[in-house]
């Protein structure tokens, strides 16, 4: 029987996994420089957590949840996103620690039963950050600045930041009524899905990509004309802060998001290289969610970046190739144990001492091949140095595979390691 990875999932293989590690390390570095600390939540949560936050009428909850009943009869769901679990953990463990501000982040796989296509999977990875506590526009600006810093950190510049405001509990319902009215008058020109959205979630009509809906969408009233004064002022302050930070952005009055918990600012970052699935990530303010989950009134804002999409758009810019620093070449079978011990020492790892920082990447051929075959393998791996065993009378014989030079090296494995580290850095 032949097995394959489930539809919509993908294996991350050597060659690619180094790019992932590099992306993760870069993102973690930027996040920690901004003061964000990681929370790792379970892959599954009570189903209700997502129904109550993401929203019953959203595509995610209606069509895309991986829900199952466990043996105890509980309804559980593989997390389709990271914000609701993080807010749950924030409240469960009182992560505010009495402070008015918490900066938290996460990184891991999410699950949505979507139709797979380029850049869209059923298991995909997100990097997310959530800023819980501040309601001021400066928080929105920090969030967008952080988002941009991560994607600039991984090396690409050609992105567009789209921002919009969805209003709050005062002005949004008025706007929803206005568009319900407007689309109600044009119902015959709407696609089947939009007819359904008109009943359940009229805001989502604004996000429809079907060509036949576009003329009606173009004439729809804008949320920005319906904002109440506090929401308008907030949105203006967000834009002023983005200008002060020199972050280029566009106001996108039709930007709505696929999750119901948003209030006021929403944003997405798009990359031209991604085609149809061109949002690298998105986020927004969710000032009611903490309270909805039983906590105190606490504004919050966050975003998630899709890692597959980020890597797709980063393309060749993504770093992280892997090659060994050293191959220990076993010229005689009798030297095999010595080769294992020397490799361990060059790695900076010992039988009795703690690991030293900054060891070398060292591999030994265990297939019992000839020295010539081992050298071919070492060169195919892109190895920098070959060290031959057993030793020659004048010490270790070392070949610099890039310079093509051979040198004998006297001394202990530790002194050989120091010498190789210096040479590798030069
Ligand atoms: P979202 O827009 O649903 O927001 O997802 C964020 C990003 O995850 C998308 O822009 C995309 O890059 C990636 N993504 C989503 N679905 C898929 C998929 N099926 N395959 C590949 N990538 C995908 C959220 O998840 C919110 N939790 C963001 C947020 C955080 N809002 C506030 N805080």
pLDDT digits (tens, 9 = 90+) for 231-251: 999 999 999 999 999 999 999
85 lines ligand 1 (CB under 6 A): no
Answer positive or negative: Cα dihedral of 279, 281, 286, 289.
positive
Whether the CB of 285 sits within 6 Å of ligand 1: no
Q: How far is the CA of 15 from the centre of ligand 1 (A)?
A: 25
Q: What is the pTM of this model?
A: 0.92
Query: What local confidence, expressed as pLDDT, does residue 277 receive?
Result: 62
Per DSSP, helices labelled H in 10-77 are 17-33, 47-54, 59-63
Over range 378-392, report the average pLDDT.
Answer: 95
Q: Is any ligand 1 atom within 6 A of the Cβ of residue 10?
A: no
Protein residue closest via CA to atom 13 of ligand 1: 306
- Please give the pLDDT value at position 262: 97
CA of 282 to the centre of ligand 1 (A): 6
pLDDT of residue 382: 94
Ligand 1 atom showing the smallest separation from residue 120 Cα: 20
202 Cβ below 6 A of ligand 1: no
Ligand 1 atom closest to the CA of 82, numbered from 1: 27
Output b/e per residue, 45-80; b: 16+ Cβ within 10 A. bebebbbbbbbebbbbbeebbbeeeeeeeeebbbbb
Which pLDDT belongs to residue 352? 73
pLDDT > 70: percent of the chain: 97
Asked whether 287 lines ligand 1 (CB < 6 A), one says no
Closest CA to 262 of 83, 405, 408, 98: 83
pLDDT band per the 50, 70, 90 thresholds, residue 274: low
Residue nearest to atom 25 of ligand 1 (CA): 81
pLDDT of residue 403: 92
Residue the block writes with tokens 């993401």: 54
Minimal-distance CA residue to ligand 1 atom 20: 120
If pLDDT is split at 50, 70 and 90, which confidence band does 321 have?
A: confident
Stronger pLDDT, 157 or 279, i.e. the higher one: 279
Ligand 1 contact via 270 beta carbon (within 6 Å) = no
Query: Nearest to residue 301, comparing CAs of 77, 131, 166, 90?
Result: 131
Q: What is the largest CA-CA distance in the chain?
A: 93
Tell me, using a 6 A CB cutoff, whether residue 282 lines ligand 1.
Answer: yes
Band of pLDDT at residue 353, cut at 50, 70 and 90: confident
Name the residue of 124, 151, 263 to mutate for ligand 1: max ligand atoms within 8 A of Cβ. 124
Q: Look at residue 275 and tell me whether its pLDDT is greater than 70.
A: no
Residue whose CA is at the smallest distance from ligand 1 atom 32: 302
Residue 237: predicted pLDDT: 98
For residue 383, name the pLDDT band (cuts at 50, 70, 90): very high
Q: Is 80 exceeded by the pLDDT of residue 27?
A: yes
Query: Could you tell me the distance, in angstroms and rounded to a whole number, from the CA of residue 198 to the centre of ligand 1?
Result: 24
> How many CB atoms neighbour CB 367 within 10 A?
7
């Amino acid at each position: 029987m032949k097995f394959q990875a489930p539809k919509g999932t993908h294996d991350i293989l050597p060659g690619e996994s180094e790019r992932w590690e590099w992306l993760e390390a870069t993102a973690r570095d930027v996040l920690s420089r901004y003061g964000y600390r990681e929370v790792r939540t379970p892959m599954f949560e009570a189903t209700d957590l997502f129904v109550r936050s993401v929203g019953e009428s959203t595509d995610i909850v209606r069509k895309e949840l991986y829900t199952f009943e466990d043996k105890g009869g509980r309804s559980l769901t593989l997390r389709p996103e990271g914000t609701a679990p993080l807010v749950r953990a924030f409240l469960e463990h009182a992560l505010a620690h009495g402070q008015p501000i918490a900066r938290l982040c996460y990184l891991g796989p999410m699950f949505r039963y979507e139709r797979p296509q380029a850049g869209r999977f059923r298991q995909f990875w997100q990097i997310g950050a959530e800023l819980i506590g501040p309601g001021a526009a400066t928080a929105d600006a920090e969030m967008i600045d952080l988002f941009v810093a991560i994607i600039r950190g991984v090396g690409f510049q050609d992105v567009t930041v789209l921002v919009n405001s969805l209003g709050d509990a005062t002005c949004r319902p008025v706007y929803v009524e206005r568009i319900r009215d407007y689309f109600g008058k044009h119902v015959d020109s709407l696609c089947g899905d939009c007819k359904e959205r008109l009943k359940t979630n009229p805001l989502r009509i604004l996000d429809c990509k079907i060509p036949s809906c576009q003329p009606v969408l173009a004439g729809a009233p804008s949320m920005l004309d319906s904002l109440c004064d506090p929401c308008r002022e907030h949105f203006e302050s967000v834009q002023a802060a983005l200008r002060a930070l020199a972050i280029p952005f566009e106001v996108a009055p039709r930007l709505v998001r696929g999750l119901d918990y948003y209030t006021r600012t929403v944003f997405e970052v798009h990359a031209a290289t991604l085609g149809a699935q061109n949002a690298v990530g998105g986020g927004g303010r969710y000032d009611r969610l903490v309270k909805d989950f039983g906590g105190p009134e606490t504004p919050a804002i966050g975003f998630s970046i899709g890692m597959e999409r980020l890597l797709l758009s980063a393309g060749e810019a993504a770093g992280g190739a892997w090659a060994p620093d050293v191959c220990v070449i076993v010229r005689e079978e009798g030297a095999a144990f010595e080769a294992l011990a020397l490799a361990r020492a060059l790695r900076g790892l010992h039988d009795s001492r703690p690991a030293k920082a900054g060891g070398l990447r060292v591999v030994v051929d265990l297939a019992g091949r000839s020295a010539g075959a081992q050298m071919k393998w070492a060169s195919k791996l892109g190895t920098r140095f070959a060290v031959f065993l057993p030793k020659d009378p004048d010490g270790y014989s070392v070949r610099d595979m890039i310079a093509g030079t051979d040198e004998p090296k006297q001394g202990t494995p530790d002194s050989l390691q120091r010498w190789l580290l210096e040479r590798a850095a030069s």
